Amino acid sequence: MIEARGLTKRYGRTLAVNDLSFTVQPGRVTGFLGPNGAGKSTTMRMILGLDRPTAGDVRIDGKRYADLKEPLRHVGALLDARWVHPNRSARAHLRWLAVSNRLPEKRVGEVLELVGLTQVAGRRAGGYSLGMSQRLGIAGALLGDPGVLLFDEPVNGLDPEGILWIRQFMHRLAAEGRTVFVSSHLLSEMALTAQDLVVIGRGRLISQTSTSAFIEAASGSTVRVRGPELGRLREVIVAGGLAADDAPASDEGPAALVVHGATTDAVGELAGRAGLVLHELAAQRGSLEQAFIQMTGGDVEYRTGTPVGVAAPAGGPVMAVPGQPAGAGILSGAAPAGKGEPR
Amino acid sequence: MTALTLVKVERIKLFSTRSPWWCIAAAMVLTVGFVALAAGLITDTDAQEFTAPQTQGPYRFGFMIMMIMAVLAVTTEYRFGTIRATFLAVPNRTSALLAKAAVIALVAAAVGEVAGVASWGLAKAIRGSEAPLDFYTARDYRVVFGVGLYYLVAAVFAVAIGVLIRQSAGAIALVLLWPLLVENLILIIPRVGDDIQKWLPFTAGNNFLAAGTDHVGNAGDGPGDMPFGPWGSLVYFAVITAALLALALVTAKRRDA
Ligand SMILES: Nc1ncnc2c1ncn2[C@@H]1O[C@H](COP(=O)(O)OP(=O)(O)OP(=O)(O)O)[C@@H](O)[C@H]1O
Ligand SMILES: [Mg+2]
């Protein structure tokens, strides 16, 4: 288990990580999600005692990293696959790591086999492809058979086969009861890899939740509704306590309304009670990536602390629009998924 | 983690790349080779004054290359990020870096020792019949067998510089220019230059080898009246180096890896 409390890191004038608290549970893959520059790598370096937090602390199974005896037996990390001397062979690299934590040297052969590098283990690591380097990094992380594993953007630059391999690998590690914490800036990737998410933006925690709940919140809360009497429809919806925006006629269809934070059930019932005819009633699924950008990339004033409710007007640009009150917007309705299909 | 384990780790790291081997070979060839050349080429009259301490003249080549090796052993770790891998495996940075300094110091000392004895042995083999290459005084023993100690201290000095600067080009420039240029050019400063020079570390180290003879190093290299005798000078050199290493260790511990 990893527990961060009030973790803060300042580099000169940059506040890279800001009062970040979260926990990572064993037996699950926990995704660490945030756009570029959100502070994921910085946080991981602090977890591992490489960078000193400006404030707060982080513990692994109750201990600071620096207090772990023979840390490779507890924690395996792959922060950067290039942290290998290019003129050293993979075997020599793993060998000094093994010796440092008094691991039996036969472990070197075992992990090389595990990641499929046995054939090339004697070659200089500088000549490895990115995928091979990544595998060597994973071999290093697994050397001490640790219960806690950290991976920083492990699939960056890998081909689909490599991505699949790493994903399955992480699932297996978690299924063995280990704590697996893996960062990414791609929600679509995390949706397939992680069961839990720690989402950060600009160094702050945005949400810690299960992946399915996050995706639900990110994408399922907008309804597009259309009928012959748009004006009355809007009054009814607003009277029902929901926020509605105009969606002018566009490629997507004729003029309609977009209702935020609602389900098709709720909107349909409101319209039915008022006896209004509907021509279209559909849940709008924003693309995950768009939703994610809006949640993590906006200015601080557009963040509400919950994953829902930060957005731009339907069909509008992805960026939050100044003047839109925080929490009143929706996720962009411009995405194609599910468009026009009644639920 | 025992000290011995950490030393073994650093030994594996040092010798699993090729550059230390090249450095060791270059140091040997340049020191021993130069002496062999000199022994072969000097005239018979000059050979009359070719003494044991004189066979150590090219020691500067050797310790410079050992300092480059020492700097690179540290700075390449920063360059390639393996220092982070090291600190992940051994979170006690002070121990990890001390082990590295120890391994490099031992290698440099061994190289200096072998180069020193081999230089003398080869000179004796080539010119033993004419030149007075036997050991006559304590000074002769000190210079031939002590040159490894000078290498040892110089290598630790270079490790400390490497840790402080973390960058190959800058650190190498410093360890080459400091003993060669700065400590000599300081004499340009009128009046006080001479007084400052004799307190500088490499001048002191050189005095360990040069005291009581002008056969080692450049003639007139050191100031006339050194504050310490030969062994005192070596201790002084070592103390300054230890202080620099301590500074480097504290710095490495405090800053982000
Ligand atoms: N050593 C450093 N010195 C100064 N600023 C830094 C340092 N490391 C990170 N930063 C800054 O801190 C912020 C967070 O960087 P970090 O690398 O942790 O982000 P990240 O979430 O890992 O991004 P990415 O997805 O691009 O890897 C950035 O603004 C970055 O410029
Ligand atoms: Mg990063």
Non-local CB neighbours of B196 within 8 Å, separated by 6+ positions: B186, B189
Q: What is the DSSP letter of B179?
A: I
Task: Calculate how far, in angstroms, residue A153's C-alpha sits from the geometric centre of ligand 1.
Answer: 13
Task: Calculate how far, in angstroms, residue A154's C-alpha sits from the geometric centre of ligand 1.
Answer: 17
* Residue A206 and residue A76 share a domain: yes
* Residue A49 and residue A127 share a domain: yes
- Cα(B151)–Cα(B111) distance, integer angstroms: 8
* Residue A235 and residue A168 share a domain: no
Rounded to the nearest integer, the mean pLDDT of chain B is 90
Picking from B9, B77, B84, the nearest residue to A50 by CB comes out as B84
Q: Which of A185, A296, A200 is nearest to A311 (CA)?
A: A296
Residue owning tokens 């990544």: A134
Non-local CB neighbours of B197 within 8 Å, separated by 6+ positions: B183, B184, B186, B187, B203, B222, B223
Does the pLDDT value for residue B27 go beyond 90? yes
* Residue A198 and residue A75 share a domain: yes
* Residue A15 and residue A46 share a domain: yes
What residues have a C-beta under 5 A from ligand 2, the ion?
A: A 41
One-letter amino acid of A217: A
**Does residue A24 form part of some domain?**
yes
Residue of A nearest to B95 (CA): A100
Q: What is the DSSP letter of B180?
A: I
Does the pLDDT value for residue B182 go beyond 70? yes
pLDDT of residue B25: 96
Task: Calculate how far, in angstroms, residue A300's C-alpha sits from the geometric centre of ligand 2.
Answer: 21
* Residue A276 and residue A240 share a domain: yes
Average pLDDT of span B67-71: 97
| Domain count along chain A | 2
**Does residue A119 form part of some domain?**
yes
- Cα(A186)–Cα(A195) distance, integer angstroms: 14
What residue ranges line ligand 1, CB within 6 angstroms?
A 11, 14, 16, 34, 36-42, 185
Q: Lowest mean pLDDT: which of A58-62, A320-324, B42-46, B213-217?
A: A320-324
* Residue A133 and residue A31 share a domain: yes
Atom 30 of ligand 1, nearest CA residue: A37
* Residue A260 and residue A192 share a domain: no
Average pLDDT of span B171-185: 89
Q: Report in angstroms the alpha-carbon separations of A239 from A233, A331, B101.
A: 10, 22, 76
Domain that holds residue A52: 2-212
Retrieve residue B71's tokens.
């700097």
Q: Is A83 in the B-facing interface, judged by CB distances under 8 Å?
A: yes
One-letter amino acid of B38: A
Q: In CATH, what number is assigned to the domain containing residue A142?
A: 3.40.50.300
Q: In CATH, what number is assigned to the domain containing residue A241?
A: 3.30.70.980
- A147 in helix, strand or coil? coil
**Does residue A264 form part of some domain?**
yes
Q: Are A57 and A23 in contact (CB under 8 A)?
A: no
Long-range contacts of A104-112 (CB under 8 A, 24+ apart): A107/A143, A107/A144, A107/A145, A108/A143, A111/A139, A111/A140, A111/A142, A111/A143, A112/A139
Q: Do B1 and A102 touch (CB under 8 A)?
A: yes
* Residue A121 and residue A262 share a domain: no
Q: Is A126 in the B-facing interface, judged by CB distances under 8 Å?
A: no
Residues of B in contact with A65 (CB under 8 A): 91
* Residue A141 and residue A235 share a domain: no
Domain boundary residue among A212, A241, A270?
Answer: A212
Non-local CB neighbours of B179 within 8 Å, separated by 6+ positions: B64, B154, B202
**Does residue A60 form part of some domain?**
yes
Non-local CB neighbours of B41 within 8 Å, separated by 6+ positions: none
Q: Which residue has the higher pLDDT, B197 or B92?
A: B92
Domain boundary residue among A161, A194, A212?
Answer: A212
**Does residue A339 form part of some domain?**
no
Q: Do B17 and A96 touch (CB under 8 A)?
A: no
User: B251 CA to chain A: closest CA distance, Å?
Assistant: 13
pLDDT of residue A252: 74
- Cα(B80)–Cα(A125) distance, integer angstroms: 12
**Does residue A52 form part of some domain?**
yes
Q: What string of H, E and C letters represents the secondary structure of B202-244? A: HHHHHHHHHCCCCCCCCCCCCCCCCCCCHHHHHHHHHHHHHHH
Domain boundary residue among A284, A302, A334?
Answer: A284
Q: Report in angstroms the alpha-carbon separations of B140 from B51, B53, B117, B137, B208.
A: 8, 6, 12, 5, 12
- Cα(A300)–Cα(A201) distance, integer angstroms: 9
**Among A69, A78, A99, A124, which would you mutate to test the B interface (most chain B Cβ atoms within 10 Å of its Cβ)?**
A99
Q: Report in angstroms the alpha-carbon separations of B50 from B37, B91, B117, B123.
A: 13, 52, 15, 9
Picking from A70, A83, A99, the nearest residue to B85 by CB comes out as A83
Q: Are A101 and A71 in contact (CB under 8 A)?
A: yes
Does the pLDDT value for residue B212 go beyond 90? no
* Residue A131 and residue A173 share a domain: yes
Q: Do B82 and A45 touch (CB under 8 A)?
A: no
Q: Which of A214, A282, A178 is nearest to A34 (CA)?
A: A214
* Residues in a beta bridge with A208: A198
Atom 12 of ligand 1, nearest CA residue: A16
**Among A45, A85, A123, A133, which would you mutate to test the B interface (most chain B Cβ atoms within 10 Å of its Cβ)?**
A85
pLDDT of residue A287: 64
Residues of B with CB under 8 A from a CB of A: 1, 5-6, 8-9, 12-13, 16-19, 76-77, 80-82, 84-92, 254, 256-257
User: A92 CA to chain B: closest CA distance, Å?
Assistant: 6
Non-local CB neighbours of A323 within 8 Å, separated by 6+ positions: none
**Does residue A249 form part of some domain?**
yes
- Cα(A8)–Cα(B63) distance, integer angstroms: 45
Task: Calculate how far, in angstroms, residue A40's C-alpha sits from the geometric centre of ligand 1.
Answer: 8
Q: Are A44 and A34 in contact (CB under 8 A)?
A: no
**Does residue A312 form part of some domain?**
no
Q: Are A312 and A324 in contact (CB under 8 A)?
A: yes
| Nearest ligand atom owner, CA of A36 | 1
Ligand 1 atom closest to residue A43's alpha carbon, by position in its atom list = 18
pLDDT digits (tens, 9 = 90+) for B122-166: 998 888 888 888 888 888 899 899 999 999 999 999 999 999 999
Average pLDDT of span B161-177: 96
The length of chain A is 343
Retrieve residue A18's tokens.
């800001």
* Residue A127 and residue A150 share a domain: yes
Report the alpha-carbon angle B112-B113-B119, nearest 5.
85
Q: Do B92 and A92 touch (CB under 8 A)?
A: no
How many CB atoms are closer than 10 A to CB A138? 25
Across the 343 residues of chain A, what is the mean pLDDT of every consecutive 10-residue run? 96 94 97 93 97 96 95 96 94 96 96 95 94 94 96 90 92 96 91 94 92 76 86 90 84 84 86 92 73 60 40 34 33 35 40
